[in-house]
Amino acid sequence: MKAKRAQKKGKQRSRNFKKIMIITLFIVIVAIIINTAPNYCKDELEGKLKVMINQKDVTTSLKYEPYVDENNIVYFSSKDIANFFDENIFYDNQYNQIITGSDTKIATLKLEEKSMYINSSEVNIYGAATRTEQTFYLPFSEMETVYNIDVVYHPESQIITIDSLDREQKMATSTKDTNIKYKPTFFSKTLDTVKKGSSVILIEEKDGWAKVRTAQGKIGYTKDYGNIRTIRDEMKKGKQIEGNISMVWDYYSEYVTAPTRTEKIEGINVVSPTFAALTRLGKGKLDINIGQAGENYITWARNNDYKVWAMVSNNSMKETTSEILNDYALRETLINNIVALTMNYEIDGINIDFENIYEKDKDMFSRFIIELAPRLREYGRVLSVDVTAPDGSEDWSLCYDRHVIGKEADYIVFMGYDQYGATSPKEGTTAGGDWVETNIKKFLGQEEVEAEKLILGIPFYTRLWKEQSGEVDSSVVSMKNIDTVLPTEVQRNWNEDLKQNYVEYTEDGIVYKMWIEDINSLKERLNLVKKYELAGAAYWEKDMELESVWSIIAEELQIP
């Protein structure tokens, strides 16, 4: 009996063990299924065009479905182009055209016309921009030059691949006939099959697996790869000037010739002479004042390793400026004239100094900069734009979108002066240190301008204020003339908030006040450049300075 009971218990244990093994095996199978199930889920986008931008599937992020016409031209909506390629794409109602661009190109496409202009040169195309109730569609695959991309439509897989040509790209070779997996696991779904010796785009390597893109545009994983090679290097953008910018404006009016310079100026690497200005009511024409004197000036600059960023001024002509800004054809004329100026005289860059602009033209001034920057960048020219502090009156301050200008131009110059200017009803400093620093913070904060693009403009002048019978008046005094203008016995008092010396005295019943710009205030402004790691400094204007400023600037900004 005991033997039978023992035998029975043994059989029961055996059955229990088998049950445990079956349950364990079931749990393992369930775990595998749960783990690999996502690899086999139904493709919700099956039958639709898929879009891969730089090896990333963006299909579900598109606002509107792209389409391919009978000529295999790929069309994208303007809203998706704005999202992925050109946030500034713009419909110009006046000329019924789309304006779009990239780092070095500006293109216009008139609706329903099979041509486009790239940097003002006409190009024939097989597709045309069209308009629907919701959006515009552009013949995207014919705009590869505009966006510097490669667009390929894969009809078998219904995939559109888009590669930016400024990015590195590597290829690998399949070492045997292999299946490309959805996930980096052998249990995963097979997306594509690649023959031995076939090339695939290598995206990344990790844990013995390679993420690749096949000839059909499908992205998956394989372990069977080798012969990795780089077929395209990353295009890195270089700067015209490494290190701090140190620019001096060299102003002369349209009634005289360019100044004669023979000596090297220590501490600068950029000069900005006033070579050009808008022609009054000239519809984009420029009054160019260079001549032989200007050419001699350029030669002097080159001989001293200075870059020449010619100033283009609007001479505060509101109506002329407004007319140009609000008409694409006039903007294009002006831009072509500016580009020609840089090419004809081999000028290194342009400094746009448009002041006294209607507030209503704020966005169109931004459009002008958006359209000008690529045209200059195509030839390696630099664009800097002068703006005032982000406070003040409509036509002096509120007329600039500093965020957009800062993004599109190579540099944005904060003219950090005339805190209290010629039209001020009360006396005050030209550039108080606290005011300058507060506005630098505004540029970097609320205006979201990158520090490496912001140049601080510093004055080489101040104002002598006079109070008499309740009336206030002022006159400009160059830094170099301050000591001769002020009485020798006047006490100079340092104002720690303003970071400058202040004097006040009375003569013949007139109260005189001056907030002094000198070596001490200059050092404080240069300290702000270093503190906030700005792009550099600019100085208004040459020949107003003390000779000693240049060695100070060279030392503080480390200008060789």
> What are the 10-residue block averages of pLDDT along the chain, 560 residues in total?
54 64 64 52 69 97 97 98 98 98 98 98 98 97 98 97 97 96 93 96 96 97 96 94 98 96 98 98 98 98 98 98 98 98 98 98 98 98 98 94 98 98 94 98 98 98 96 97 97 98 97 98 98 98 98 98
Residues 515-524 have pLDDT tens digits of 999 999 999 9
Instruction: State pTM to two decimals.
Output: 0.92
pLDDT at residue 43, rounded to an integer: 56
The pair of structure tokens assigned to 202 is: 């290598």
Give the contacts of 56 (CB within 8 A, at least 6 positions apart): none
Amino acid letter, residue 439: N
pLDDT at residue 5, rounded to an integer: 54
pLDDT at residue 31, rounded to an integer: 54
User: What is the signed CA dihedral for 248, 254, 255, 257, rounded to 10 degrees?
Assistant: 50
Q: Quick check: bond before 541 cis, omega within 30?
A: yes
**Which domains does the chain carry?**
50-154 (3.30.457.10), 168-232 (2.30.30.40), 246-460+517-557 (3.20.20.80)
Distances 148 to 67, 167, 404, 409 between C-alpha atoms, Å: 21, 10, 22, 19
Antiparallel, parallel or unpaired: β 190-194 and 178-181: antiparallel
* Coil, helix or strand at residue 68: strand
Amino acid letter, residue 514: M
Give the contacts of 153 (CB within 8 A, at least 6 positions apart): 68, 72, 74, 141, 159, 160
229, 514 Cβ separation under 8 angstroms = no
pLDDT at residue 48, rounded to an integer: 86
Give the contacts of 283 (CB within 8 A, at least 6 positions apart): 323, 324, 330, 333
358, 348 Cβ separation under 8 angstroms = no
* 428-442: burial string, b at 16+ Cβ within 10 Å, e else: bbbbbbebbbebbeb
Angle of helix 362-377 relative to helix 328-344, nearest 10 degrees?
A: 40
Count other Cβ atoms within 10 Å, centred on residue 449. Answer: 25
Residue of 392, 453, 447 lying closest to 423 (CA atoms): 392
